[in-house]
């Protein structure tokens, strides 16, 4: 048995680099590379097979086999030893290759006299692009350094293949490394809207330019420094009191920590450097091999961990390159579509708002905090797109369809044209709406309604002027609590409410006190798990049981409204006594402010959301002590019909325009009329044109909605005659059917309604 005189791997790499720098043909380069490797490893044969379109491995160059076989000898993935290496994406080292069960003889290569074989896959991003094989006539077990050296060369070759240096990129389709083909994927629609823009990877991907090291000692030192910086940053993330702000789940962060501290990983990285690679190239090589190994598993948990390792390797590369963790501070294009695996609300707010067009994520859910911010910013967000980050490159064109929950990456021209047309129609409509900005929301027969805005974050405030809303009908104060790391203190709350009132000026603002619990969770506040959180310990129930938080909030509102009007609304009131208790807390805080000599608000009105049907049967006593009510139809519908508002299966099951629900609303309107108290609607229903007309026809004169609802609702109102709609509802509320929608719509259109 011959043992090798393994050449100096670093020297080998340097020669390889020299070959790559020469101006010569791709074939000539490959021919010289195989000769170089064969000489260096004292092998009689060295061959390079590359994966062709269609998944066949083709002999591209050989030293030692029959040259006529080049570009003629082919193997399927899995066929023969070369195919076996490609299929399993791992090296083989066989002193007696012919006794291996997968050995096949290719007569055209004339390889029969060769006994030993060592081969390694050419991997990139965990995908196999080809195989390098060395063979000897004698029985020989190649030593570990030789296998290592071959893997290092394979890594360098992989980069050359991927950059199109060796094979035309068109021949690489099946390897999946081409990121220039259109790619379309469906996920879930999380925030509405459509946008066309350019991909900006939220976590920048480092392109490894330098593969071969000049000074391995220096590379090792760089690696050690970067690994220790990575470990501290991962520790910091795990210990961060609010992981949601970073968008990552605890499970993922724990996996990062585990991998970052895995000594085997560090050993493999160091070994790769000792073969002559730069620290960056070593990270890529080890990552590619690990990924290939993990991706062979069918266990979804392990495949998911491959993702975590990718993230971690990227983080390490960023440490090596001295790059920031996110692209927020980088120079950005004018139409940014952020692409990330996950993202936190504060991270999204770090980006220049004027440039953000959309967000596309591999994770994300409708109730995630990043979704709340995306909606406030008025940009579409699509989530749950598998493999998105892998597929996308910075600068790729991308369409985000927040209505269908789809993304089109590198879209074909006809897709772009179709979406441009859609955007043009939307822009045209926006123009129509913008033209109505200062016009009153009045029907053709003179019925007037106030169109207000639902808001909750400082980033919502510009919408007031943009939409021409009459005021803020619902300010959801829990949102700022949800997207910060800790409970906002009294000053921070006062400052925010002050700012809201400043921006609103003469326009009225209704602040709703904290509506926590259910799907609105504070990361820093522990709530026990409940079987039915939507009907659980939430909103006013928490506030009354633990009044300190509510009193603080009321204090901040009173201070902010000094010398101005203050409207406060309590959420999820189910019985009059709860409202009385909440109002008593407000009175107590007002007294306290007076005793301290503070300037008090000019006027204070206290009202309640009607979200629990029981309150609809308590309106007379309620209105004796409440100044106004606002129907929160999102929760009201879910409790009225016992139908979870977050369950997509039930989304269309019950209709807000059903006779029963409209009768309920009508009863509320009448009770308010009798009590001479005001009534508004602030659920999603208010922002839909047809529903808005129905609400008006029932006597509602105040609607509060998302910013993009105002234009379409105003257009519908200004184009219609209300009297016939009123008459219709007067006679149809006792109908037995599922919904009045179809008839009501037909009638509204008949009387001029433009419903978009």
Q: Which residues bind ligand PEP (CB under 6 A)?
A: 474, 476, 515, 611, 632-635, 682-683
**What is the smallest separation between the CB atom of 319 and Mg ion, expressed in angstroms?**
44
Q: What phi and psi values does residue 678 have, to the nearest 5 degrees?
A: -90, 150
Q: What phi and psi values does residue 410 have, to the nearest 5 degrees?
A: 45, 55
633's contact among Mg ion, ligand PEP, none, with CB below 5 to 8 A by partner kind, is ligand PEP
**What is the smallest separation between the CB atom of 611 and Mg ion, expressed in angstroms?**
5
Q: Which is nearer to Mg ion, 125 or 635 (CB)?
A: 635
682's contact among ligand PEP, Mg ion, none, with CB below 5 to 8 A by partner kind, is ligand PEP
**What is the smallest separation between the CB atom of 632 and Mg ion, expressed in angstroms?**
4
**What is the smallest separation between the CB atom of 652 and ligand PEP, expressed in angstroms?**
18
**What is the smallest separation between the CB atom of 665 and ligand PEP, expressed in angstroms?**
13
Paired residues of 356 in beta bridges: 336
Does residue 45 contact residue 70 with C-beta atoms inside 8 Å? no
Q: Which is nearer to ligand PEP, 682 or 710 (CB)?
A: 682
- Rounded CA separation 681/473 (Å): 9
Q: Which is nearer to ligand PEP, 278 or 706 (CB)?
A: 706
335 three-state secondary structure: coil
Torsion of CA 606, 611, 612, 614, to 10 degrees: 60
Q: Which is nearer to ligand PEP, 315 or 476 (CB)?
A: 476
Measured from the Cβ of residue 58, the count of other Cβ atoms closer than 10 Å reads 20
- Rounded CA separation 183/173 (Å): 13
Q: Residue 439 has what DSSP assignment?
A: S
Nearest CA among 367, 396, 397, 395 for reference residue 381: 367
Beta strands across the sheet bearing 336-340: 183-186, 406-409, 397-401, 194-201, 336-340, 356-361, 381-383, 188-191
Among 46, 668, 672, 682, which one carries the catalytic annotation?
682
**What is the smallest separation between the CB atom of 609 and ligand PEP, expressed in angstroms?**
7
Binding site residues, Mg ion, CB under 5 A: 611, 632, 635
**What is the smallest separation between the CB atom of 684 and ligand PEP, expressed in angstroms?**
7
668 three-state secondary structure: helix
Q: Which is nearer to ligand PEP, 318 or 476 (CB)?
A: 476
Give Cβ neighbours of residue 565 (< 8 Å, ≥ 6 apart): 508, 601, 602, 603, 604, 605
271's contact among Mg ion, ligand PEP, none, with CB below 5 to 8 A by partner kind, is none
**What is the smallest separation between the CB atom of 520 and ligand PEP, expressed in angstroms?**
7
Residue nearest to ligand PEP (CB): 632
Does residue 2 contact residue 142 with C-beta atoms inside 8 Å? no
Does residue 86 contact residue 68 with C-beta atoms inside 8 Å? no
- Rounded CA separation 716/530 (Å): 42
**What is the smallest separation between the CB atom of 633 and ligand PEP, expressed in angstroms?**
5
Instruction: Provide the angle, in degrees to the nearest 10, between the axes of the packed helices 300-321 and 216-239.
Output: 120
Q: Which is nearer to ligand PEP, 310 or 635 (CB)?
A: 635
Nearest CA among 585, 491, 604 for reference residue 544: 585
What does the DSSP assignment read for 510-540?
Answer: EEEPP--BTTB--TTS-----S-GGGSS-TH
**What is the smallest separation between the CB atom of 515 and Mg ion, expressed in angstroms?**
6
Does residue 119 contact residue 132 with C-beta atoms inside 8 Å? yes
Nearest CA among 345, 24, 33, 411 for reference residue 191: 345
Annotated active-site residue 682? The verdict is yes
Q: Which is nearer to ligand PEP, 12 or 612 (CB)?
A: 612
The count of residues in the chain is: 756
Q: Which is nearer to ligand PEP, 289 or 635 (CB)?
A: 635
- Rounded CA separation 157/26 (Å): 12
Annotated active-site residue 526? The verdict is no
Q: What phi and psi values does residue 176 have, to the nearest 5 degrees?
A: 80, 0
Block residue for tokens 């970052």: 260
Q: Which is nearer to Mg ion, 347 or 635 (CB)?
A: 635
Paired residues of 729 in beta bridges: none
Measured from the Cβ of residue 730, the count of other Cβ atoms closer than 10 Å reads 11
Q: Which is nearer to ligand PEP, 611 or 655 (CB)?
A: 611
Does residue 130 contact residue 51 with C-beta atoms inside 8 Å? yes
Among 202, 307, 319, 369, which one carries the catalytic annotation?
369
Alpha carbon 714 to chain centroid distance?
32
- Rounded CA separation 608/632 (Å): 10
What are the catalytic residues? 369, 682
């Amino acid at each position: 048995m011959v043992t090798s005189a393994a050449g100096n791997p670093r020297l080998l790499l340097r020669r390889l680099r020299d070959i790559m720098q020469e101006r010569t043909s791709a074939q000539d380069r490959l021919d010289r590379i195989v000769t170089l490797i064969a000489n260096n490893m004292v092998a009689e044969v060295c061959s390079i097979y590359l994966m062709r379109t269609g998944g066949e491995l083709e002999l591209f160059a050989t030293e030692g086999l029959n040259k006529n076989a080049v570009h003629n000898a082919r193997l399927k993935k899995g066929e023969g030893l070369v195919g076996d290496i490609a299929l399993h994406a791992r090296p083989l080292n066989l002193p007696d290759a012919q006794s291996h069960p997968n050995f096949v003889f290719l007569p055209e290569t004339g390889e029969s006299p060769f006994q030993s074989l060592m081969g390694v896959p050419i991997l990139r991003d965990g995908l196999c692009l080809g195989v390098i094989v060395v063979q000897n006539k004698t029985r020989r077990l190649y030593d570990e350094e030789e296998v290592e050296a071959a893997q290092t060369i394979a890594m360098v070759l992989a980069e050359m293949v991927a950059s199109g240096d060796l094979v035309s990129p068109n021949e690489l389709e099946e390897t999946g490394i081409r990121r220039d083909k259109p790619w379309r994927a469906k996920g879930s629609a999380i925030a509405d809207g459509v946008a066309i823009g350019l991909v900006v990877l939220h976590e920048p991907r480092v392109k490894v330019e330098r593969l071969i090291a000049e000074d391995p000692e220096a590379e090792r030192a760089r690696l050690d420094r970067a690994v220790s910086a990575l470990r501290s940053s991962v520790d910091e993330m795990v210990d961060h009191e609010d992981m949601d702000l970073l968008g990552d789940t605890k499970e993922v962060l724990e996996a990062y920590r585990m991998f970052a501290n895995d000594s085997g990983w560090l050993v493999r990285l160091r070994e790769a450097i000792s073969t002559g690679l730069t620290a960056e190239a070593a990270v890529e090589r080890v990552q590619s091999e690990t990924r290939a190994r993990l991706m062979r598993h069918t266990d979804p948990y392990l495949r998911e961990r491959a993702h975590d390792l990718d993230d971690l390797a990227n983080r390490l590369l960023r440490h090596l390159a001295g790059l920031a963790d996110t692209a927020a501070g980088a120079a950005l294009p004018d139409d940014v579509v952020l692409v990330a695996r996950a993202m936190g609300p504060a991270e999204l707010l770090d980006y220049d708002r004027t440039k953000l067009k959309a967000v596309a994520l591999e994770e994300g859910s409708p109730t995630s905090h990043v979704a709340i911010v995306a909606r406030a910013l008025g940009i579409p967000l699509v989530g749950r797109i598998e493999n998105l980050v892998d597929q996308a490159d910075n600068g790729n064109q991308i369409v985000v369809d927040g209505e269908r929950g789809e993304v089109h990456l590198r879209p074909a021209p006809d897709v772009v044209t179709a979406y441009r047309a859609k955007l043009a129609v939307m822009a045209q409509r926006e123009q129509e709406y913008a033209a109505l900005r200062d016009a009153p929301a009045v029907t053709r027969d003179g019925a007037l309604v106030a169109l207000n805005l639902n808001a909750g974050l400082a980033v919502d405030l510009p919408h007031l002027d943009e939409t021409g809303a009459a005021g803020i009908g619902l300010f959801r104060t829990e949102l700022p609590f949800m997207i910060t790391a800790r409970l906002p203190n009294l000053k921070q709350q006062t400052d925010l409410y002050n700012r809201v009132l400043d921006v609103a000026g003469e326009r009225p603002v209704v602040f709703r006190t904290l509506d926590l619990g259910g799907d609105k969770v504070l990361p820093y506040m522990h709530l026990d798990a409940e079987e039915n959180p939507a009907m659980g310990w939430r909103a006013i129930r928490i506030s009354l049981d633990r009044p300190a938080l509510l009193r603080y909030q009321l204090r901040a509102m009173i201070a902010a409204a000094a010398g101005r009007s203050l409207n406060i609304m309590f959420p999820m009131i189910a019985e009059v006594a709860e409202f009385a208790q909440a109002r008593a807390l407000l009175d107590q805080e007002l007294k306290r402010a007076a005793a301290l000599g503070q300037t008090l608000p000019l006027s204070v009105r206290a009202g309640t959301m009607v979200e629990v049907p029981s309150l609809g049967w308590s309106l007379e006593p309620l209105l004796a002590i409440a100044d106004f009510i606002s129907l929160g139809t999102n929760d009201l519908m879910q409790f009225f019909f016992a139908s979870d508002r977050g369950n997509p299966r039930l989304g269309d099951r019950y209709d807000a325009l059903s006779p029963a629900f409209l009768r309920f609303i009508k009863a509320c309107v009448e009770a308010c009329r009798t009590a001479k108290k005001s009534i508004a609607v602030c659920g999603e229903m208010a922002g839909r044109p047809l529903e808005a007309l129905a609400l008006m026809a029932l006597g509602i004169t105040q609607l509060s909605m998302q910013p993009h609802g105002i234009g379409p609702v105003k257009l519908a109102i200004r184009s219609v005659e209300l009297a016939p709609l009123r008459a219709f509802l007067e006679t149809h509320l006792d109908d037995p059917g599922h919904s009045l929608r179809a008839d009501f719509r037909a009638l509204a259109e008949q009387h001029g309604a433009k419903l978009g």
